[in-house]
Structure 1
């Protein structure tokens, strides 16, 4: 099993400096995105799961729950392994997010089965996720957390998000009409601002090679570039993709990526788990 683990580690594991290389990043994309495009998307469309601002709000607790699990693993409270047959594989990327995707899909169908009256708006799905998130947060706040750092980071994110959404709405007519667009901006603001704080104010290192290159050269430009890029992507998606489900599915993925990477940074900085 050691040989198997070493092979997986060389392909999917972080590089020696704790970051992700071009090779393992591309491999993760090749493995993950076909599943999202040809399995998850068609499954949700077939069962009439409406992808909109409301369902995204229901998804966020699951995503943040996942980032808390990752933070617990960073703190040494959960095991780490690259063997998919062991629990530790599902406490970090990529196994954690495969598990979260499966959990969300299962929760949608379980909610519809157990509470048929909620099928139209999938409220039960949102309730399940909220219970998970509250439970994880309750445990997180038993750890030695710096509340001032946590509050300051959240405040900075809120200010940057508000400014970015205002500017996008001012220059792109109808941008804020779709709540998913605003959530996409917020997600990238969370990631950009928290990464900037983590790497410039504290001693954390950026794990992703492209982000690390930008932060290493122009730290303050990092959140600006991320937000500007996501605004452009969302604007193009709105203009070019006419199928509502496909358009919103892309936005849901974009929003999810921002929240997944960003909120982990927030928890990590407040918990003092830089790496």
Structure 2
């Protein structure tokens, strides 16, 4: 198999024919993500921008932007191209977020005003996508019954995390991450169990096939998150705290983004 055929089979076809992820592209995308995390962190350090609550709040609209763009693309309101579906769409949003941050920083430096200006520009972009939904609302068929399944499922799953956080300090110290990823697991569970959707990611798809139920997503989240946060909190205690915070921010995005995408795709019909 030549390089071109290999690339087409494992990277182009899954996007072109909506086949989901495979072990090869999953590994490559994971490596790219890891490299990007380190490069972005170094960039923030050189810019004098701290990874704190102010930065997180300023980043929220860009976190919303990715799943919103993906959802309206899947509903045909934006053209389906390599730049509007995952992972290309997320690279585009990341590029927007980085370029916007750099532009504001060039003008203000690491000034207190940087955060609200950067945040507001992101909300303008989100507003543009919401406007597209509004003017095309007649083409959509909202499934309001979605909440009949989603709300009780979410309540039970988050109550489970609340109970675990009472007993285990590791989970209590990272409960936002666990809450967020159980939100993601709930959107997957409801979408597959009640609305006939399917799982795109390799590990989750394999577990669902083996167990016969999308409820296994909750177990998968625990099996992945617990060792990850253990490594970050217990084995990397001497590392830069801001690096740990940035990695946790990325983990949050990896739960909130897909979860919100799932919710919107299912809800919009």
Query: Given the two structures, how large is their TM-score scaled by the length of structure 2?
Result: 0.81
2:57 equivalent in structure 1: 57
| Structure 1 residues 166 and 219: CA distance shift in structure 2, 3 A | same
1:154 CA drift (Å): 5.6
SS of structure 1 residue aligned to 2:68 = helix
Deviation digits for residues 100-126 of structure 1 (CA, Å, limit 9, x no counterpart): 222212222333345569537722222
In the alignment, does 2:233 pair up with 1:215? Answer: no
How do 1:222-233 residues align onto structure 2 when only pairs under 5 Å count?
A: 222-227=217-222, 229-233=224-228
1:25 equivalent in structure 2: 26
| Matched positions, count | 258
Any conservation in 2 of the 1:164–1:185 contact (CA below 8 Å)? no
Q: In the alignment, which of 259, 263, 267 is matched to residue 264 of structure 2?
A: 267
How do 1:131-210 residues align onto structure 2 when only pairs under 5 Å count?
A: 131-141=124-134, 142=137, 143-146=139-142, 148-152=144-148, 155-156=151-152, 158-160=154-156, 162-173=158-169, 176=172, 181-210=174-203
Q: In the alignment, which of 120, 123, 128 is matched to residue 130 of structure 1?
A: 123
Moved over 6 A (4+): 4-7
Whole-Å separation in 2 of the counterparts to 1:76 and 1:182: 36
Q: CA RMSD in A?
A: 3.0
Structure 2: segments with no counterpart, 5+ residues: none
Any conservation in 2 of the 1:111–1:125 contact (CA below 8 Å)? yes
1:84 equivalent in structure 2: none
Structure 1: segments with no counterpart, 5+ residues: 81-87
Query: Given the two structures, how large is their TM-score scaled by the length of structure 1?
Result: 0.80
Deviation digits for residues 186-207 of structure 1 (CA, Å, limit 9, x no counterpart): 3312220011111111111111
Any conservation in 2 of the 1:198–1:265 contact (CA below 8 Å)? yes
Any conservation in 2 of the 1:168–1:175 contact (CA below 8 Å)? yes
1:7 CA drift (Å): 6.3
